[in-house]
Amino acid sequence: MHKPKITNTVEKILSLLVDKNYSQLGAMTQGQQFLPEDIKGAIDDYGYTIIHPPKLLEVLDVIQVKDKVPATYSVRVDLWTKEEGRSDLSLELTLIDIEESDLCTVEIDDLHVL
């Protein structure tokens, strides 16, 4: 079972993707790795409409990174689209569990077709 903070963070990211709120997503990630326009471009190039997955916990692959303080997780999220259901598009994240925050710190590592 995943920590609620991880699930809540991923839900927030997915909501921003579904709402096409790339600027807020960029602010959440402090523009590390992927800029808002990179994320928008990757999704636009894919050509389908991102939606919330029916069961988030079934599309999360979470691995805790050893010997990292604060706790750090490598997370892969299979994205869903209105047209396809579960798609070939995958979002890879690094989540850092900062205790003072309600959500994890987010780094987007990749957004690509599997």
* Contact between residue 97 and residue 74 where contact means Cβ atoms under 8 Å apart: no
Q: Which residues contact 109 (CB under 8 A, 6 or more apart)?
A: 33, 74, 92, 93, 94
pLDDT of residue 31: 62
pLDDT of residue 74: 97
Structure letter (DSSP) for residue 103: S
pLDDT by position in tens, the chain (length 114) = 568 999 999 999 999 999 999 999 988 887 677 788 888 999 999 999 999 998 887 779 999 999 999 999 999 999 999 999 999 999 999 999 988 889 999 999 999 887
Query: 81, 74, 76, 75: which is closest to 17 by C-alpha?
Result: 81
* Contact between residue 80 and residue 52 where contact means Cβ atoms under 8 Å apart: yes
Q: Which residues contact 61 (CB under 8 A, 6 or more apart)?
A: 75, 76, 77
Within a 10 A sphere around the Cβ of 5, how many other Cβ atoms?
A: 18
